[in-house]
Structure 1
Amino acid sequence: MIKLIASDMDGTLLDSKMGISKDNATAIREAERLGIEFMVATGRAYTEAKPALDDAGIECAMITLNGAKVFDKAGNSLFTAGIDKKTTTEILDILDTHDVYFEVSTNKGIYSERQEKRIENFAAHIATTMPHLTYKVAIAMAAAHLSLLDITYIEDMRTLIQQPDIEVLKIIGFSMDGPKVLAPASTEIRQLNDLVVTSSAQNNIEVNHKNAQKGIAVAHVAKERGISEEEVMTIGDNFNDVSMLQWAGVSFAMGNAELEVKDHAKYITSTNLENGVGEAILRAIREDL
């Protein structure tokens, strides 16, 4: 029987309104009633992930920034895997060379040099994950969503990261041109030491320390709780979810997941617009997966 469930958020737990549906929330509560712990494993920072959970009344442990920062249910930090400053500068140089807009997630929050690009690229992400929306609606949703998040706009990222109290946890790059631009940048970044490059959408790449992966973080949490991999269930839709889908004894890929991602999961559930997370949880309980 499963004892721990870890779910991705964007394209997985979240619906078309970037929230957690009633059906998904009900299934999560049923799992918790049965003594099964639920947690999220997301590429988002803590401040980006928490509002949707709060709105649904869900209090849980959180794997954030693809595993770079792990928090317990009370919001206390449990685990950190950051990128050193020299490597960070090299990554930013590569992204600038390829004209890739980037954001840097740190222990002090999220930083960006260009607000208009953030809205534009987040809108592209929304349009990709929810193709039924018009781009105009996606822009409006992006602007409204981002206004609620804690992000600091600065003039010089390289000066910021050299500050002694700043620890870089994740770098995310966006391009409207998708893999055409991002693939060459990813290839160069992968040649640097101790990094892992993944993505959560066609228009982004996410760079972390090699120890900051969802699979490693889920395994870390499970070990602390005395739970074996056979007793862990993971749910995801994109390439930054693959490590946890491969590791867990029970794994579900969303119906909207990338085809290659589905190959790494044991089961397939419905899409994020069809309460796929709730469906997977109830199936796992019903069939004692």
Structure 2
Amino acid sequence: MKLIASDLDGTLLDEEGVVSEENIAAIQKAIDHGIRFVVATGRSYDAASTPLKQAGITCPIISLNGAVAYTEDKKLIRTIPMDKSVAKQVLGACREADMYLEFFTSNGIYSVSKEYFLEVLVDIMKSANPNVAEADIRKKAELRFQAEPVQFIADYDEIFAVENLEIYKILAFSLDKEKLKNVRTQLAGGAGMAITSSGDINLEFNHQDAQKGIALKHLAESMGIGMADVMALGDNWNDASMLQAAERGVAMGNASDEIKALCSYTTKANYDHGVADAIEEMLQERKNKRQ
């Protein structure tokens, strides 16, 4: 392996949104062995950079599921925006289903209600952390505004009136799984659109070429690395394209059985330093082959 690509949430980050010391050490060990490291996430660049900076990790970042990519020195190398007509189709279907939306754009994130935004985040965090007090969850939800500022507008239609604005990703939430299923079914197969998800209560919409697997292949080629020498780690459906594109696809222990079925390897859960475990296993195999 010459390149390791890792998702963030549910993969490299633990339940507190932190990169563990074990994961940091394993990544550095791989780098010391001449292996490159990259993050591929559904997050925006700024939101992805924060935990990496705290961990002392400097690396290329594929953000917004592959719609935007940066080198390790923050140079923008790839953008794949959605066609406005496609974005309007997504808006129409999600609006009809009364879903909460976030538009990730070249001018930041847009949404329509801070109060609704907070309630959605609280519901998400409560479902992931049922044993944590709601007051503590609300405090953590408020931190989202510090890590990734959101611009609140009166109506989503205002977004399409902003001059020279590029839309990279639309994130839709609903606690009603039937609504999610119906919207996915309604929009599936639409030209110029990729539909994935990073959790049980959301859908993520991108340009069909803005997928982690495509972006990772593009980045690897720019480094002179073929996909036969790439290991990718992930836990959810927005990771599927890169898990399948990489020679060594590794599912996290906390991933669904469907995601695990896509991969040749499964490691420990994100809260049990699964990335470190997968890297150590790969390095040991590499060592054994050379002996």
Output the TM-score relative to the length of structure 1: 0.95
State percent identity of aligned pairs. 37
Measure the CA separation in 1 of the matches of 2:44 and 2:246.
Answer: 23
Partner-residue secondary structure (3-state), 2:169: strand
Partner-residue secondary structure (3-state), 2:148: coil
Give the superposition deviation at 1:135. 4.7
In terms of mean alpha carbon deviation, does 90-99 or 153-162 score higher?
153-162
Measure the CA separation in 2 of the matches of 1:123 and 1:48.
Answer: 18
Give the superposition deviation at 1:134. 4.7
Structure 1 stretches (4+) deviating beyond 6 angstroms? none
Measure the CA separation in 2 of the matches of 1:282 and 1:133.
Answer: 32
In terms of mean alpha carbon deviation, does 128-137 or 165-174 score higher?
128-137
Q: CA RMSD in A?
A: 1.5
Q: How does 1:253-272 map to 2 (within 5 A)?
A: 253-272=251-270
Give the superposition deviation at 1:146. 3.4
Structure 1 residue 235 corresponds to structure 2 residue 233: yes
Structure 1 residue 284 corresponds to structure 2 residue 282: yes
Partner-residue secondary structure (3-state), 1:18: coil
Tell me, which stretches of 5 or more residues in structure 1 are unaligned? none
Asked if structure 1 preserves the Cα contact closer than 8 Å seen for 2:12 and 2:275, the reply is yes
Q: 2:150 aligns to what?
A: 151
Measure the CA separation in 1 of the matches of 2:130 and 2:260.
Answer: 20
Q: 1:218 aligns to what?
A: 216
Q: 1:47 aligns to what?
A: 46
Q: How does 1:74-89 map to 2 (within 5 A)?
A: 74-89=73-88
Query: Taking structure 1 as reference, are residues 108 and 4 closer, same or farther at Cα in structure 2, changes over 3 Å only?
Result: same
Give the superposition deviation at 1:224. 1.1
Measure the CA separation in 1 of the matches of 2:130 and 2:204.
Answer: 22
Give the superposition deviation at 1:80. 1.1
Give the superposition deviation at 1:112. 0.9
Measure the CA separation in 2 of the matches of 1:123 and 1:38.
Answer: 32
**What are the superposed Cα offsets for residues 177-196 of structure 1, whole Å, 9 maximum, x if unpaired?**
2x221110111222431101
Give the superposition deviation at 1:142. 1.7
Measure the CA separation in 1 of the matches of 2:37 and 2:187.
Answer: 34
Measure the CA separation in 1 of the matches of 2:149 and 2:231.
Answer: 31
Asked if structure 2 preserves the Cα contact closer than 8 Å seen for 1:7 and 1:234, the reply is yes
Give the superposition deviation at 1:120. 2.2
Letter in 2 for 1:147: Q
Give the superposition deviation at 1:158. 1.5
Measure the CA separation in 2 of the matches of 1:6 and 1:120.
Answer: 32
Give the superposition deviation at 1:122. 2.4
Measure the CA separation in 1 of the matches of 2:64 and 2:18.
Answer: 19
Give the superposition deviation at 1:126. 3.0
Asked if structure 2 preserves the Cα contact closer than 8 Å seen for 1:5 and 1:36, the reply is yes
Q: 1:37 aligns to what?
A: 36
Query: Taking structure 1 as reference, are residues 150 and 181 closer, same or farther at Cα in structure 2, changes over 3 Å only?
Result: same
Q: 1:28 aligns to what?
A: 27
Asked if structure 2 preserves the Cα contact closer than 8 Å seen for 1:129 and 1:201, the reply is no
Measure the CA separation in 1 of the matches of 2:152 and 2:234.
Answer: 31
Give the superposition deviation at 1:51. 0.6
Give the superposition deviation at 1:140. 2.7
Give the superposition deviation at 1:102. 0.3
Measure the CA separation in 1 of the matches of 2:130 and 2:270.
Answer: 12
Partner-residue secondary structure (3-state), 1:95: helix
Measure the CA separation in 2 of the matches of 1:249 and 1:130.
Answer: 34
Tell me, which stretches of 5 or more residues in structure 2 are unaligned? none
Output the TM-score relative to the length of structure 2: 0.94
Aligned residues: 287
Q: How does 1:1-289 map to 2 (within 5 A)?
A: 2-177=1-176, 179-288=177-286
